[in-house]
Amino acid sequence: MNAIILAAGLGERMKPVTDRIPKPLLPVVNQRLIDININHLLRNGIKRIGINLYHKHELIREYLDQYQDQVFTVVEDELKGTGGALLNFRDFLTEDFLILSGDVLSDIRLTEIIDFHKTHDPIATLVLVKHKGTEFSFGKDNRITRISRGAEYAHTYSGIGVFSERVFSFMPQKSVFSIVDIFLNILETRELLMGLPSVMNWYNVNSLYAYWKVHHDLLNNQVDFESLCFKSPVYIASTSRVETEALKGFVSIGDDCIISKDVYLENTIVLPESRITSGNYRNCLLSDELRITVA
């Protein structure tokens, strides 16, 4: 099975950090967000991965060269939305395929979702989580019966799903549209759209607080992903020099940083290539140019 990672967003809610580092290349402790998702797919038997790009695509394409034949990218000339992006991959998606939102982190066992989809053969099987967002109502047979926008807390689409290539028959007749528009078209024709509720560990890294929170949980051992497991709440990249001993709570210091002895860090993420010479920082995202308090 092939997969698509949707990674073309501008990262507007994570500015000004994403003005410097595109969201797919943001480090989550010691790994880039895009690496975590690519390797999650490969470990679950995915053979080849297509990724759509837009914002700072040159940096991301250069970084992804390391994956050679496993990954290919499509650069959008204009943002096409989470649904319209699929049209870039029509020739690549000739059988069942998986979609993963590029800003989602989870420990879901994708093989179980794939097996469920193959057994029931719907147009799509959507992994659902309890969260604020568009509500997906479903019955005891897991068939989705209604989609309601703007719910405060309900079963909503996680950004993870398995799709039949028949889904291309339900695309709106326009070039820019949301993936939810596709789901609504499926429901209108009464074709089978299934929802699979999950209690997986799941993070939507779509805000500065969410980015800070996933570090908080990982380094405090509140969550344990297969590729992200840490024995200490303090992570210091091997290429960084840290002179201070005033590190409290969780601290994540990225590659090629210099932290002087007159610095106090508490529950703080230091982005790569930062030089911090003085100051007290709590609950921050930090770099040479930025000091953002997020909690």
- Token pair for residue 35? 């690496």
| Cβ–Cβ under 8 Å, residues 186 and 136 | no
Q: What's the pLDDT at 228?
A: 87
Closest CA to 122 of 196, 178, 54: 196
Whole-angstrom Cα distance, residue 208 to residue 262? 26
Q: Where are the domains of the chain?
A: 2-204, 232-293
| Cβ–Cβ under 8 Å, residues 165 and 118 | no
Q: Provide the CATH topology of domain 2-204.
A: Spore Coat Polysaccharide Biosynthesis Protein SpsA; Chain A (3.90.550)
Query: Tens of pLDDT along the chain (295 residues)?
Result: 999 999 998 889 999 999 999 999 999 999 999 999 999 999 999 989 999 999 999 999 999 999 988 999 999 999 999 999 999 999 999 899 999 999 999 999 999 999 999 999 999 999 999 998 899 999 999 999 999 987 778 899 999 999 999 999 999 999 899 999 999 999 999 999 999 999 899 999 999 999 999 999 999 999 988 778 898 999 999 999 999 999 999 999 999 999 999 999 999 999 999 999 999 999 999 999 999 999 8
Q: What's the pLDDT at 225?
A: 83
Whole-angstrom Cα distance, residue 200 to residue 87? 29
Q: What's the pLDDT at 149?
A: 81
| Cβ–Cβ under 8 Å, residues 276 and 258 | yes
E strand spans, 139-244: 144-163, 193-197, 202-204, 234-236, 241-242
Q: What's the pLDDT at 63?
A: 96
Closest CA to 226 of 105, 64, 75: 105
Give, to the nearest 10 degrees, the angle between helix 57-64 and helix 33-43: 40
